[in-house]
Chains A and B, each alone.
Chain A
Amino acid sequence: MRRSSLSTRLYRRVLILLALTGLAMGVILYTVASREIGRASDAQLVNASRLLYMMMQDELTPAMLTVRGARPAPGNDPLLTSEEKKAFQASYDWCMFAVFWDGKPVAQSGWGAPVSLVPRRPGLHDFTAMNDHWRSYGLPGRNPRLLIVVAERDVMRELSVRPVMRKMALPMLLLLAFAMVVLWWTLRTSLSEVERLASSLNARSLTDLTPLDPGDWSRDLGPLIVALNKLFARLGQGYELEQAFTDDVAHELRTPLAAIRTQAQLLRKTAPALLAEDGDRLMRMVDRANCLIDGMLTLARLNATAVSNRSIDVHALVGEVVADAVGQLPAEAIEFDVTPSHVVRWRCDAGSLQIAVSAVIDNAIRHARSGGRVDIAIVRSAEHLVISIGDRGCGVAAADRERLLRRFEHGAAGSSGSGLGLSIATKAMTLSGGSIRLEDRQDGPGLLVILTLPAAVD
């Protein structure tokens, strides 16, 4: 499974964090606001009770209160005139009140919670009546037997969230959208450094193992740059070791072969005529062994080869390979036909493509020489470059094609090749991201080898 991109993950997390922070801020704000509103409401209750106390000041005589306490008569009590009640209602229309003398009710607002349920204690209290929560404040008079209680429903003091939400929805959404855009932009610009690193690594050929200068990159990328440089150094060492090893192998294997070949040629020159054929056979054997060593070295070096990605003229590359082949053949042994006859540019690794084309043409010369003809077509489309190389030999049975692309597999004819040619081509093509396919020629007998290279990804 492909992991989501770093920026998307970071973006998602920061957005979640932002949302959680916003939510927490909301909760805190709500709590603080509720508490402040509660405090302000309590202060209002205290004020209301004081107002009531002031209004009743004139009528408050203990004797009178005692009488009223004995027979309570709600409604038109002289403690508060109806004007005074109206004045109180005008200021605190949501508050009910009750006045107690010695714990007995002597006056009340006439609405709200039943007097029996109202707490008869000084100070702030909560109580329940008529399925509502109430908050009350008891104000003791100068005479401690007097208690003025004012109460209001809790509902009145609760901060109503919904209208606030409605009003804030649009600005909050706009703010959120703005934050998302700014956040994304910030992330992209911060991560562009990583992209720059990636493209700078992409742009260099893989043989280019020069270390990156940490000074060129932001400090956050420091550990990555250091790790990359260590990797470059290790790769460079490995590369050199592998090259040195193949050089040694080349030297150790070729020198004795050269001695045998020279000796065989000497023998043919000096020996009597009847040994000439043996000398020739010996030389062919040496040449075959040498061919095998060349193939093995090419394969081994392909392992240590770094792939570059440059725009090259594929037509010129094919021309060079054909020129080498023609130079090694007797005149008019094989006719070569290359189409088109002009420059075909393509971004790819020239080295591995040359090895592949060369191996396929070698194979055609070796196995289909009797056909006398090799046709090469270079076709370029937006997505692919296709080089098809067709000979006029006897072709390859469909069942053998896969097998022929593997190491040390010879064609049915029991040929003299190293059995590495097409496997070298396969490896070289795979290395540069391409593929190789064997087919029958459509226009008569012969093998068609199709090399396909995809468009390079930057």
Chain B
Amino acid sequence: MPRLLVAEDDADLGPAMKRALELDGYVADLFTRGDDVLAAASVATYDVILLDLGLPHMSGLEVLRELRSAKNVTPVIIITAFDRTPHRVAGLDAGADDYVVKPVDLEELAARIRSQLRRKDRRQDDSISVGEVTLDFSGHVATLDGESVALTAKEYRVLALLMRRNRRFVSKAELEGELYDQDHWVESNTVEVAISALRRKFGRDFIRTARGLGYMVGSQET
């Protein structure tokens, strides 16, 4: 059973989060002071740490820096009300694995925790996950919900580029360029064929499209 550390000083939010996570089947320890968080994370092993930035006695960022300088690699998801880009940058630079702005939807939080847990399992691997789809670059293998999915070389290249650009559009020209390297010849509908094959394999909603922009994978929850 995955064990989570919840660092949240708000007297209402902290217990609510702990309870919600426990309902989802996690073991959750709640701490309200920064120094307590650091102490707990140093002695016990957690699978994911949910860290608020505005903690008393020691700020979330200080806790994170201390953890990372002590070679603690536990995945950390920052959950904070500070939403400006400089804050996000500071958080990620300090070693956070994800950054979520309050109020956070419990379903979304659960998905992000699952994503961190998956990533933790494959920390040494060279792979990317978007939603339930994972692409392993070293083995050229894709999985959907843990089930492996067979891909052609073209499909793999298209999917790899889309997943590397998670939540950003990739133009058709770029995808064609990606295929061109391999084939020296790309027929006009090669990209469309690969996209529709990928949609058949991973679900229609997995790849989104917008005319004039191209294709993308990833949504808020992933």
Q: Which of A219-256 contact B (CB under 8 A)?
A: 243, 247, 250-256
Assess whether B213 is interfacial by the CB under 8 Å rule: yes
Q: In the complex, what distance in Å separates the CA atom of A250 from the CA atom of B213? A: 33
Q: Please indicate the chain B residues that have their CB under 8 angstroms from the CB of A193 in the complex.
A: none
Name, among A255, A320, A376, the residue most crowded by chain B CB atoms within 10 Å (CB to CB). A255
Hey, what's the 0/1 contact readout for A330-341 against B, CB within 8 Å counting as 1? 111001111111
Complex contact B208–A337 (CB within 8 A): no
Name, among B102, B205, B216, the residue most crowded by chain A CB atoms within 10 Å (CB to CB). B102
Q: Please indicate the chain B residues that have their CB under 8 angstroms from the CB of A129 in the complex.
A: none
Q: Please indicate the chain B residues that have their CB under 8 angstroms from the CB of A332 in the complex.
A: 204-205
Q: Please indicate the chain B residues that have their CB under 8 angstroms from the CB of A336 in the complex.
A: 210-213
Which of A255, A265, A319, A335 contacts B105, CB < 8 Å? A265
Complex contact B211–A338 (CB within 8 A): yes
Q: Please indicate the chain B residues that have their CB under 8 angstroms from the CB of A326 in the complex.
A: 208, 210, 216, 219
Which of A301, A327, A341 contacts B219, CB < 8 Å? A327
Assess whether A259 is interfacial by the CB under 8 Å rule: yes
Which of B19, B87, B101, B205 contacts A266, CB < 8 Å? B19
Complex contact B212–A257 (CB within 8 A): no
Assess whether B54 is interfacial by the CB under 8 Å rule: yes
Q: Please indicate the chain A residues that have their CB under 8 angstroms from the CB of B214 in the complex.
A: 319
Q: Which residue of B lies closest to A251 (CB)?
A: B81
Assess whether B220 is interfacial by the CB under 8 Å rule: yes
Q: A259-B13, A327-B167, A338-B213 are contacts. A290–B103 as well, Cβ < 8 Å?
A: yes
Complex contact A254–B81 (CB within 8 A): yes
Complex contact B103–A258 (CB within 8 A): yes
Hey, what's the 0/1 contact readout for A312-350 against B, CB within 8 Å counting as 1? 000000111011101111111001111111000000000
Which of A262, A265, A331 contacts B208, CB < 8 Å? A331
Q: In the complex, what distance in Å separates the CA atom of A251 from the CA atom of B9? A: 12
Q: In the complex, what distance in Å separates the CA atom of A319 from the CA atom of B23? A: 38
Q: Which residue of A lies closest to B19 (CB)?
A: A266
Assess whether A86 is interfacial by the CB under 8 Å rule: no
Chain B interfacial residues counted at CB < 8 A: 37
Q: Please indicate the chain B residues that have their CB under 8 angstroms from the CB of A329 in the complex.
A: 219
Q: Please indicate the chain A residues that have their CB under 8 angstroms from the CB of B17 in the complex.
A: 262
Complex contact A243–B106 (CB within 8 A): no
B-side interface mostly: loop
Name, among A262, A263, A319, A376, the residue most crowded by chain B CB atoms within 10 Å (CB to CB). A262
Q: In the complex, what distance in Å separates the CA atom of A263 from the CA atom of B189? A: 50
Complex contact A266–B208 (CB within 8 A): no
Q: Which residue of B lies closest to A261 (CB)?
A: B103
Q: Which residue of A lies closest to B85 (CB)?
A: A351
Q: In the complex, what distance in Å separates the CA atom of A243 from the CA atom of B83? A: 11
Q: In the complex, what distance in Å separates the CA atom of A297 from the CA atom of B205? A: 33
Complex contact A266–B23 (CB within 8 A): yes
Query: A247 to nearest B CB, angstroms?
Result: 6
Q: Please indicate the chain A residues that have their CB under 8 angstroms from the CB of B80 in the complex.
A: 251
Q: In the complex, what distance in Å separates the CA atom of A251 from the CA atom of B52? A: 11
Query: B40 to nearest A CB, angstroms?
Result: 22
Complex contact B213–A319 (CB within 8 A): yes
Complex contact B210–A320 (CB within 8 A): no
Q: Which residue of A lies closest to B109 (CB)?
A: A262
Q: A259-B13, A327-B220, A341-B212 are contacts. A243–B84 as well, Cβ < 8 Å?
A: yes
Assess whether B93 is interfacial by the CB under 8 Å rule: no
Q: Please indicate the chain A residues that have their CB under 8 angstroms from the CB of B210 in the complex.
A: 322, 326, 335-338
Name, among B20, B103, B211, the residue most crowded by chain A CB atoms within 10 Å (CB to CB). B103
Complex contact A258–B168 (CB within 8 A): no
Hey, what's the 0/1 contact readout for A260-272 against B, CB within 8 Å counting as 1? 1111011001100
Q: Which residue of A lies closest to B17 (CB)?
A: A262
Q: Please indicate the chain A residues that have their CB under 8 angstroms from the CB of B125 in the complex.
A: none
Query: A279 to nearest B CB, angstroms?
Result: 12
Assess whether A286 is interfacial by the CB under 8 Å rule: yes
Assess whether B26 is interfacial by the CB under 8 Å rule: no
Hey, what's the 0/1 contact readout for B191-222 against A, CB within 8 Å counting as 1? 00000000000001100101111101011100
Complex contact B169–A323 (CB within 8 A): yes
Query: A351 to nearest B CB, angstroms?
Result: 9
Q: In the complex, what distance in Å separates the CA atom of A297 from the CA atom of B16? A: 26
Query: A130 to nearest B CB, angstroms?
Result: 101
Complex contact B10–A323 (CB within 8 A): no
Hey, what's the 0/1 contact readout for B79-98 against A, CB within 8 Å counting as 1? 01111100100000000000
Query: A311 to nearest B CB, angstroms?
Result: 20
Which of B12, B54, B106 contacts A265, CB < 8 Å? B106
Q: Considering the complex of A and B, which 8 residue pairs feature the smallest CB-CB distances, nearest first? A: A338-B212, A331-B205, A258-B103, A259-B12, A336-B210, A254-B81, A259-B13, A258-B102
List 18 A–B pairs whose Cβ atoms lie within 8 Å, in order of A's numbering.
A250-B81, A250-B82, A255-B10, A258-B103, A262-B20, A263-B16, A266-B16, A266-B23, A270-B23, A318-B213, A319-B169, A322-B210, A323-B167, A326-B208, A327-B167, A330-B205, A335-B210, A341-B211
20 extra interface residue pairs, beta carbon distance < 8 Å, beyond A257-B102, A266-B19: A251-B54, A254-B101, A254-B103, A258-B103, A262-B103, A263-B16, A265-B106, A301-B84, A319-B169, A319-B214, A323-B169, A324-B167, A326-B216, A332-B205, A336-B211, A337-B212, A338-B210, A341-B171, A341-B213, A376-B212
Interface residues of B (CB under 8 A from A): 10, 12-13, 16-17, 19-20, 23, 54, 80-84, 87, 101-106, 167-169, 171, 204-205, 208, 210-214, 216, 218-220
